[in-house]
Amino acid sequence: MGVQISRREVLAAACALACAAPLGARAERKTALTAGAVQFGTGQWLFDVIAANKLDTAEGFTLSQRLLASNGAADIALLGQQADIAITDWFWVMRQRSLGGDYLFMPFTASLGGVIVPEASPIKDIAELKDKEIGVAGGPIDKSWILLRAYGIKHGAGDLASTAKPVFGAPPLLNEQAAAGRLAALLNFWPFAARLEAKGWRRLIAVSDIMRSFGIGPDLPLVGFVFPASLARDEPALMQGFAKAVRKAQHILLGSDEEWDRIRPLMKAGSDQEFRLLRSRYREGVPHGWSEASREDARKLFEIVRQTGGEDVTGPGVTFDAKAFWDGIVL
């Protein structure tokens, strides 16, 4: 004859299981974060400041870096759960969310590149880029390139995708091509542009100026820290600690030249002028706030990019998603 179990015993056992699970979960709270960082990238500079000043342990967690070869590798590390955090733009976040991924964005930098030309170049205006070879980092769907195209259309240069001769390539390779005199102009990521500017190239126009021409604040962060929404949901104290550590590190980099001297080996600056320009451009891009106005600026930017570049850039069926931005941002 089988053992008879009373309804009361069943309910008691269920209650014991339900009560035990949360206790076990609380005992195993996550206290470490792995950040995917491109080797020699600006994220690595910031993470090094956090580690050297023990800003992570002061906030109750430990931060480690997974050094990667490219931005694409950082995205893959995040998707493959080999990193808790990666540095990318919020367009990527919206595309992933549209595909069912649940990721959030926290601002890192508003620094963007710009169009640069040799100091002796006769080119003084975007319209003069017609029929010229322009180096473009990031490929044909790069957001800065799309914005430059939109600006050219608005200001009489036509769509530079067809009126000029874009040459797409990796940032270091394009710098080499530019230095060798094979390009009339170059649109590169800001650290690479700064390296050429330190050698005598000059800005024709900054991407931030392009954004301003469309009524978008030039301090809108496009690049940031991206992480699974489950981290913010399940480990709010951990993510708030990360945000506070980032804020403290940014404040150090804004105010301490000595800290920049310490991280100089990471920057691979070829000269004092290059070092100073990299430091200045980084500081210019440190975000000082995030608000509803920032979200509206992001919405404007998304629409400009969508209208100019189409779904090849934003992704099929992707629309602006204001919920992609983490509400727990600490700036």
CATH code for the domain in which residue 194 is found: 3.40.190.10
Q: Which candidate, 87, 83, 85, places its Cα nearest to that of 71?
A: 87
Q: Is residue 192 part of a domain?
A: yes
Q: Is residue 95 part of a domain?
A: yes
Q: Is residue 320 part of a domain?
A: no
Let me know: does 49 contact 266? Beta carbons within 8 Å: no
Task: State the CB neighbour count (10 A cutoff) for residue 272.
Answer: 10
Q: Which residue has the higher pLDDT, 21 or 195?
A: 195
What does the alpha-carbon distance between residue 148 and residue 153 come to, in Å, rounded to a whole number? 9
Write down the mean pLDDT value for the chain: 90
Instruction: For 190-200, write each residue's pLDDT tens digit.
Output: 999 999 999 99
Let me know: does 157 contact 129? Beta carbons within 8 Å: yes
The number of folded domains in the chain is 2
What does the alpha-carbon distance between residue 122 and residue 108 come to, in Å, rounded to a whole number? 36
Task: State the CB neighbour count (10 A cutoff) for residue 307.
Answer: 12
> Residue 7 pLDDT more than 50?
no
Query: CB within 8 A of 262, min separation 6: which ones?
Result: 52
Q: Which domain-ending residue is among 170, 190, 213?
A: 213
Tell me, yes or no, whether 242 and 163 share the same domain: no
Tell me, yes or no, whether 106 and 227 share the same domain: yes
> Which phi and psi angles does 110 have, rounded to 5°?
-105, 5
Here the tokens at position 141 are 């769907």
> Residue 126 pLDDT more than 80?
yes
Instruction: For 67-122, write each residue's pLDDT tens digit.
Output: 988 888 888 999 999 999 999 999 999 999 999 999 999 999 999 999 999 999 99
> Residue 134 pLDDT more than 80?
yes
Q: What's the pLDDT band for 289 if we cut at 50, 70, 90?
A: confident
The pTM is what? Answer: 0.88
Q: Is residue 240 part of a domain?
A: yes
Let me know: does 31 contact 238? Beta carbons within 8 Å: yes
- CA distances, 253 to each of 85, 164, 197, 263 (Å): 21, 39, 22, 10
SS3 214: coil
Q: Which domain-ending residue is among 213, 239, 274?
A: 213
Domain that holds residue 200: 114-213
Here the tokens at position 5 are 């179990």
Q: Which domain-ending residue is among 181, 198, 213?
A: 213
Beta-strand runs (E) in the chain: 32-38, 62-68, 86-89, 103-109, 114-117, 133-137, 165-169, 185-188, 202-206, 223-228
Tokens 């540095």 — which residue? 87
- Spell out a b/e string for 130-156, using b for 16 or more CB atoms within 10 Å of the CB, else e: eebbbbbbbeebbbbbbbbbbbbbeee
> Residue 221 pLDDT more than 90?
yes
Read off the pLDDT of each residue in 52-66 and give the average, rounded to a whole number.
96
Read off the pLDDT of each residue in 28-44 and give the average, rounded to a whole number.
90
Q: What's the pLDDT band for 331 if we cut at 50, 70, 90?
A: low
SS3 269: coil
Q: Is residue 317 part of a domain?
A: no
Q: Is residue 23 part of a domain?
A: no
Tokens 């403290």 — which residue? 248
